Amino acid sequence: MTYLAVPIAAKDLNEAARQIDAAIAAGAEAIELRTDYIENLSVELVGELIAQARSAAADVPLIVTCREKKQGGIIDYPLALRLDVLIAAVQAGVEFIDIEYDNFILTEVKQKVLGACLGRTTRLILSAHNFQAPFADIKKLCRDVLAACPDAIPKLVYTASHINDCFEAFDLLHDAKQDTIAFCMGEAGLISRLITKKLGGFVTFASLDEKTGTAPGQSTIEQLKDLYHWDSIDAETELYGVIGAPIAHSLSPAIHNACFADAGLNKLYLPLLVAGGQGEFSQFVDNCLSREWLDFRGFSVTIPHKENALNYVKSKTGFVEPLAERIGAANTLIIEHRASSIENRVSAYNTDYSAALDSITAALRITRTDLKDMSVAIIGAGGVARAIVAGLADAGAKVKIYNRTVEKAKRLAVEFKCDYASLDALHKPKEKLIINCTSIGMHPNTDSSPFNAKLLQKHMAVFDTVYNPLETKLLKEAKEVGAKTISGLDMFVNQAIAQFKLFTGKNADSKFMKRIVCESV
């Protein structure tokens, strides 16, 4: 069992009562009473706090902690009082007390704590925290903790400055023969909190809300339950995720997790913050693939790693979909299970171009062959422009690329044999289809548009790849003149549907996906 514990971070009993009730209502499977948050702490107050928690939910296990300030505590209570509080908690019959390993190994502390626990059911959590970096040797630290108290639950928590720092916590949990808690703090450590249940970690901690978090990178219990389907995760859960930087605001976890759950699949989709370039990207995917027991089966890939993803698969001699090769970027990686080596296990696809073409043809009620000779203005020359230009060039459309940095427009145009110009030259567009592939108009700059409204005409079709907001200024103005409009939402949903098919072999319900995106934007 992996407990989903909610820390109670209250300064008095009234606030604690409110937080405990809310945690129980939200589905907490254990409650951590962080007594170092309580003002004017005393043994009597802790007794009342425990009684209060018991009366709220008699069968929810309690962890009592009085954290030392240098290990993340809030009020700097002396060791003697912290010890008295923990011993009082043992005498009150709580299931767990958490004490810092560094303090526990002091002879008089150890004697007192073990003496108090003797003949009682309370279990000891011995914790160590490193707020700066990974531990020098986490495996040795774990052995030291168990040597000091073989029945204890080691709790080893450190800050991950990069997602690649998380893997030693995963290895520790994977190899553990006894109950162990190991996860990483910080945004880069988020996945270690999400997959601890799959790896058999003893506890993960989730805050009640954004305000009451007790450590950096903690998710809320609502996110764990609703977005990451905590209740369904088990050792067999297969992992997927979106690799990018930044990634916190990606809608992909919401979409894919909802669709996995809807299809009754035991799959979990994670936000994977991979900072850095090719080196860090390759190291991350190597880390995932070399640990088959992690069960990573596929990735979506976004800014800035689409080229890195393609290069990675080529370096592993994996299969590359021909158009992904031509575009020079992949947004989907599929990992074959139980292949003999990392080589050949991973294949690369690009669902962006097809998603864009399908959005255009559906909105204009035409087929891909009707795109032949259609004149199209592409605004922008970045990653999304590249995929759309490749798709349109493949279909035989007459494409002209307009970009702020004209040199970039030229490079793309030469590659795909089309025309180009600077963005300033877009004053008398002759093209029938206008596609915005820049981020202009995207949240929070919703008042801007890449295209002068006076140039919009009724006979045009206007496609904005931006999907946040769902209706951009450009689309609103295009609608006002009676032009046909195509929203970035359609493309976003289409590429997610194609990824879902690659991930699962099943068709996703596009209306359901659209609803999830609309609810999440």
Among 437, 460, 478, 508, binds ligand NAP (CB under 6 A): 437
Burial class (CB in 10 A: 0-12, 13-18, 19+), 44: exposed
Least Å from the CB of residue 179 to ligand NAP? 43
Burial class (CB in 10 A: 0-12, 13-18, 19+), 502: middle
- Report CA Rg, the chain: 27
Sheet of strand 267-273, all strands in order from the earlier edge strand to the far edge: 267-273, 238-244, 296-301, 332-335, 346-349
Q: Which amino acid is at 297?
A: R
The answer to whether the beta carbons of residues 423 and 359 sit under 8 Å apart is no
Q: 279 CB contacts (<8 Å, ≥6 apart)?
A: none
Among 225, 368, 398, 404, binds ligand NAP (CB under 6 A): 404
Least Å from the CB of residue 194 to ligand NAP? 24
Catalytic one among 267, 306, 400, 473?
A: 306
Nearer to ligand NAP, 230 or 503 (CB): 503
Phi then psi for 352, rounded to 5 degrees?
A: -70, -45
Q: Rounded to 5 degrees, what angle do the CA atoms 414, 416, 421 make? A: 55
Can residue 303 be called a binding residue for ligand NAP (CB under 6 A)?
A: yes
- DSSP summary character for residue 471: S
Total residues at interface with ligand NAP (CB under 6 A): 24
Q: Give the span between the Cα atoms of 508 and 260, in whole angstroms.
A: 9
400 as an active site residue: the answer is no
Least Å from the CB of residue 424 to ligand NAP? 10
Can residue 385 be called a binding residue for ligand NAP (CB under 6 A)?
A: yes
Least Å from the CB of residue 283 to ligand NAP? 23
Least Å from the CB of residue 370 to ligand NAP? 22
Q: Rounded to 5 degrees, what angle do the CA atoms 98, 99, 103 make? A: 175
Q: Give the span between the Cα atoms of 315 and 294, in whole angstroms.
A: 22
Site string (246-285) toward ligand NAP, x via CB under 6 A: ----------------------------------------
Q: Which residue has the closest beta carbon to ligand NAP?
A: 382
- DSSP summary character for residue 384: H
Nearer to ligand NAP, 253 or 380 (CB): 380
Can residue 380 be called a binding residue for ligand NAP (CB under 6 A)?
A: yes
Site string (463-502) toward ligand NAP, x via CB under 6 A: --xxx--------------------x--xx--x-------
Positions annotated as catalytic residues are 306
Residues lying near ligand NAP in the complex (CB under 6 A) are found at 303, 380-385, 403-405, 408, 423, 437-440, 442, 465-467, 488, 491-492, 495
